[in-house]
């Protein structure tokens, strides 16, 4: 296979505890105390972001707020000012676009940049990353961690490598070495189910994964087996995709063991709803037009159910789940929940004055 990857320069930029960082910037009294942005306990909310002092208590994003307050009763909890976060995000994105038009935003505070053809700094991706970090800090007061690599999945791992305020560069010549010790659980798309399966096969690192023949991986993981084979070798040809309009936001889980009945599906719903709420916050709480639930049964049949006009609360998802499950009435491999977004042109019409 042609190694296009080896010639690309991808940056992954990711703000450090973004919403919390904006609040700490605007109110220095919040800087050294445990702080989280999230929904209230009364609304059964979840934590969208928290700062490092809060993380020291074991708090993390997508955790129910009630649990976070049990871990740290003196936690300062703010509901979040998403108009303000969107404004900061716009200024960050403007910095990104000064380096390259090839920017793929993943959420308000995170993006891939393809700087392969960028000419500034004599084409040095490392210097571009340094400039980007300094410029974002100067213009918004927010620190950004950046990863530089020949592929998307490695750039994303690299930005997380030395957080906060990190800059990790994996040049093409170091990709192989970097991968050898990399835990397979860090690979793009390896969730709890695949992780458990790899564990059972005694595969913990990419070096061990490379020992497994392609045919064996395909046998074990289907299509994803080929992907694992490639990722272990640093191959990831996914391009940086510019600004396609996002139509929905969803999360899903493939279970290590099939869920036998509707009751166990209902139980699995709560953590999914929490992850979805956190994801919606990361996108600045966009306007929603409906909900969707996705169920894959143990015979691999797939059903999705959508409903317009419902709020994304656990009760609505529970009702949709029940209807979707009735279509198969079998053990369940995968559950997903999501929300449809109001298209941008409709949003603009909605905001027109009468």
Residues 6+ apart with CB under 8 A from 198: 184, 185, 190, 204, 209
Taking CB under 5 A as the binding criterion, the range among 14-22, 64-72, 174-182, 228-236 that sits at the site for Mg ion is: 14-22
Which stretch in 11-19, 95-103, 112-120, 180-188 sits in contact with Mg ion by CB under 5 A? 11-19
Q: From 8-16, 76-84, 204-212, 292-300, give the range in contact with Mg ion by CB under 5 A.
A: 8-16
- What gap in Å lies between CA 15 and CA 96, rounded to an integer? 12
Report the DSSP pairing between strands 167-169 and 47-50.
unpaired
| Radius of gyration of the chain measured on its C-alpha atoms | 21
Site string (51-90) toward Mg ion, x via CB under 5 A: ----------------------------------------
CB of 146 to Mg ion, least distance (A): 11
Two structure tokens written together for 109: 């505070």
Binding residues for Mg ion, how many (CB under 5 A)?
3
Cβ atoms of 52 and 17 closer than 8 Å: yes
Q: Shortest gap between Cβ of 152 and Mg ion (angstroms)? A: 16
How is residue 135 annotated by DSSP? H
- Of 13, 14, 37, 46, the one binding Mg ion (CB under 5 A) is 14
**Ranges within 90-109 binding Mg ion (CB under 5 A):** 109
Give catalytic status of residue 110 as yes or no. Answer: yes
Smallest distance from the beta carbon of 14 to Mg ion, in angstroms? 4
Which residue number, 15 or 99, has a Cβ lying nearer to Mg ion? 15
Distance CA 338, CA 353 (A): 30
Which residue number places its CB atom closest to Mg ion?
14
Residue 192: count other Cβ atoms within 10 Å of its Cβ: 12
Of 251 and 305, the one with the shorter C-beta distance to Mg ion is 251
Q: Report how far apart, in Å, the C-alpha atoms of 186 and of each of 113, 154, 160, 171, 224 are.
A: 21, 10, 11, 19, 15
Residue position matching structure tokens 């392969």? 116
Backbone angles phi, psi at 8, to 5 degrees: -95, 160
- Site for Mg ion contains 278 (CB under 5 A): no
Give the nearest distance from C-beta 16 to Mg ion in angstroms. Answer: 7
Nearest to 142 by CA among 13, 10, 279, 53: 13
The Cα 321–Cα 294 span in angstroms is 8
Catalytic residue among 104, 110, 230, 278: 110
Q: Which stretch binds Mg ion (CB under 5 A): 9-17, 67-75, 321-329, 332-340?
A: 9-17
Task: Tell me whether residue 61 or residue 194 sits nearer to Mg ion (CB atom).
Answer: 61
Contact residues: Mg ion, CB under 5 A: 14-15, 109
Report, as residue numbers or ranges, the catalytic residues.
Answer: 110
């Amino acid at each position: 296979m042609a190694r296009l990857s080896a010639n690309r320069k991808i940056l992954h930029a990711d703000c450090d505890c973004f919403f919390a960082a904006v609040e700490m910037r605007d109110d220095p009294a919040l800087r050294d105390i445990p702080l989280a942005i999230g929904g209230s306990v009364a609304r059964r909310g979840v934590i969208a972001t928290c700062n490092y002092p809060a993380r020291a208590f074991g708090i993390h994003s997508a955790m129910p707020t009630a649990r976070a307050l049990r871990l740290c009763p003196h936690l300062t909890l703010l509901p979040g000012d998403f108009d303000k976060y969107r404004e900061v995000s716009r200024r960050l994105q403007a910095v990104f676009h000064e380096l390259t038009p090839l920017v793929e935003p993943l959420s308000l505070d995170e993006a891939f940049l393809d700087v392969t053809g960028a000419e500034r700094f004599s084409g040095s991706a490392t210097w571009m990353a340094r400039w980007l970090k300094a410029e974002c800090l100067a213009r918004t007061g927010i620190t950004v961690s950046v990863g530089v690599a020949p592929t998307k999945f490695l750039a994303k791992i690299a930005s997380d490598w030395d957080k906060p305020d990190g800059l990790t560069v994996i040049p093409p010549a170091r990709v192989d070495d970097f991968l050898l010790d990399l835990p397979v659980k860090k690979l793009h798309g390896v969730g709890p189910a695949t992780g458990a399966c790899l564990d059972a096969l005694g595969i913990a690192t990419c070096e061990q994964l490379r020992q497994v023949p392609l045919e064996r991986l395909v046998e074990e993981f289907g299509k994803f087996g080929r992907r694992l084979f490639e990722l272990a070798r640093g191959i990831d040809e996914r391009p940086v995709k510019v600004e396609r309009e996002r139509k929905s936001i969803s999360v899903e889980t493939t279970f290590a063991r099939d869920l036998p009945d509707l009751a166990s599906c209902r139980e699995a719903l709560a953590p999914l709803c929490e992850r979805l709420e956190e994801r919606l916050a990361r996108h600045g709480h966009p306007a929603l037009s409906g909900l969707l639930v996705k169920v894959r049964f143990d015979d691999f049949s797939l059903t999705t159910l959508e409903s317009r006009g419902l709020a994304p609360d656990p009760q609505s998802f529970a009702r949709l789940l029940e209807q979707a499950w009735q279509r198969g009435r079998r053990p369940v491999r995968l559950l997903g929940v999501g929300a449809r977004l109001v298209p941008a042109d409709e949003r603009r019409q909605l905001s027109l004055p009468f």
